[in-house]
Amino acid sequence: MKERVIHNVIQEMLPFLSNNQLEKLKKILSFELEKIEFSKNKDEKLQIESNTQLIELFISAKRVEGCSEKSLGYYRTAIEKMVIEINKPIKEIVTDDLRIYLTNYQEKKNLSRMTIDNMRRIFSSFFSWLEDEDYILKSPVRRIHKIKSATVVKETYTDESLEIMRDNCKSLRDLALIDMLTSTGMRIGELVLLNIEDINFNERECIVFGKGNKERIVYFDARTKIHLKNYLESRNDKNNALFVSLKKPHNRITIGGIETRLRKLGRELNIPRVHPHKFRRTLATIAIDKGMPIEQLQRLLGHQRIDTTLQYAMVKQSNVKLAHKKYIS
């Protein structure tokens, strides 16, 4: 690029300057253009450093607030992709930049509106933090409203499905595992961290560490207590984890291990979409249908916001009809 500019200028000046003058002009052009290129590279480097520093400061702040490393990784990836694509200093990004980015990203990746709204919320959190910390005057996400998406009623397990799974468990561990998920509604990430000493059999309860390392108590029923005791008494390993792999060396079971086992069980029994989170959603739905106050269910599930709890609980239409007769008809 630089050589082409010098060549064009020299060609234009040929009729007006001597050879010595042309040579001098060539040296001056080369020197001045070199300074411009150096300055440009320096500015770009400073921009990259500034963007990186702001992202790192935000991630550090969220880590202090108690966000999990998984969430932090999701935040970092989403923000870094956006900054690279927009190709501006973060402090210069405006609302239209983000709108265009989200629109193009959705079309390119064929993503759902819900996924795009999750990205919007991440950007909102990032730029709101920049605003609060006085790095920017006003968040450009303020004028990007929540992206509406169709409400999808997610499936829950029927009573029959749960009993069929219990009846067809080939190991005491799997039976205790399904009972634990069914009666407590805990997250799969919370279950794999449980140790044997965390279980209080007398009170039928245990302490779990939820999102943000927050402790809460969850409860299990009498059937779970019996099956869990039977499983623990059958073990001959030294591992203090509540659930371990069936094969030696009997390591603590992983999230992936549970997901794989449940998918296989679902295929064998012809039960569609068997996965750990569905147990949590089932418990929430049953609790609401039986009249459990939403605030208590929120505490049981470990949700910070009650809106999240309401998304889990799908009230049956038959109960809506009964409620109508009771309170209105």
Q: Are residues 179 and 303 in the same domain?
A: yes
Q: How many domains does the chain have?
A: 2
Q: Does pLDDT of 324 surpass 80?
A: no
Q: Active-site positions?
A: 187, 211, 277, 280, 303, 312
CB 210 within 8 A of CB 204: no
Q: Are residues 125 and 202 in the same domain?
A: no
* CATH assignment of the domain containing 70: 1.10.150.130
Query: Could you list the residue range(s) of the whole structural domain that residue 75 is in?
Result: 1-150
Q: Are residues 290 and 245 in the same domain?
A: yes
C-alpha 180/C-alpha 190 separation (Å) is 11
Q: Are residues 241 and 140 in the same domain?
A: no
Q: Are residues 80 and 174 in the same domain?
A: no
Q: Are residues 167 and 313 in the same domain?
A: yes
Least confident span in 103-107, 123-127, 133-137: 133-137
Boundary-marking domain end, from 150, 177, 203: 150
Q: Are residues 119 and 166 in the same domain?
A: no
Q: Are residues 290 and 177 in the same domain?
A: yes
In angstroms, how far is CA 318 from the centroid of its own chain? 34
C-alpha 280/C-alpha 282 separation (Å) is 5
Nearest to 185 by CA among 303, 316, 307: 303
Q: Are residues 196 and 126 in the same domain?
A: no
Span 314-323, pLDDT tens digits: 655 556 666 6
Boundary-marking domain end, from 122, 150, 178: 150
The pLDDT confidence band at residue 1, using thresholds 50, 70 and 90, is low
Boundary-marking domain end, from 98, 115, 150: 150
pTM: 0.63
Span 219-270, pLDDT tens digits: 999 999 999 999 999 999 999 999 999 988 999 999 999 999 999 999 999 9
Q: Are residues 170 and 313 in the same domain?
A: yes
SS3 208: strand
* CATH assignment of the domain containing 270: 1.10.443.10
Structure letter (DSSP) for residue 199: E
Q: Are residues 94 and 143 in the same domain?
A: yes
Q: Are residues 129 and 203 in the same domain?
A: no
